Amino acid sequence: MSQQELADLCELSVDQVMNIERGKSFTSEMTIALLAAAFGLGDPQKLFDYSENESFVKSGGMKWRAGRKSSVIRVRNRKVDVKIPESQRRDKKS
């Protein structure tokens, strides 16, 4: 599926899909749900479940990939924690 096709299915811009793919964009729960629906996954959590991808798991999976760029994403017991810096939080107290 091309980025354009995915963008059309999710009613997103191609730039937004590209930024999500590259990890340069924080993604809302609604967008994650739209992406899961576009891929026919049903449950959005399945976007983060790599347990059936044996080669990915053997290569170190998210632990290896997330650690290369930042400490924003951590994997603990197969659950993904995303740390949003306080300066980027919408609900921060002024």
The pLDDT tens digits for 21-58 are 888 888 888 999 999 999 998 888 888 877 777 877 77
- Domain that includes residue 4, residue range: 1-47
Position 75 scores a pLDDT of 57
**CA distance readout (Å), 35 to 46, 60, 90, 92:** 11, 24, 23, 27
27 is a domain residue: yes
20 is a domain residue: yes
Give yes or no for residue 17 having a pLDDT over 50.
Answer: yes
Do 4 and 35 fall into the same domain? yes
Position 69 scores a pLDDT of 46
92 is a domain residue: no
pLDDT tens readout for residues 56-77: 777 776 664 444 444 555 556 6
Do 35 and 1 fall into the same domain? yes
**Rounded Cα gap, residues 66 and 60, in angstroms:** 10
Do 35 and 55 fall into the same domain? no
Do 1 and 43 fall into the same domain? yes
- Return the half-sphere exposure (C-beta side, CA atoms, 13 A cut-off) of residue 18: 4
Do 54 and 31 fall into the same domain? no
62 is a domain residue: yes
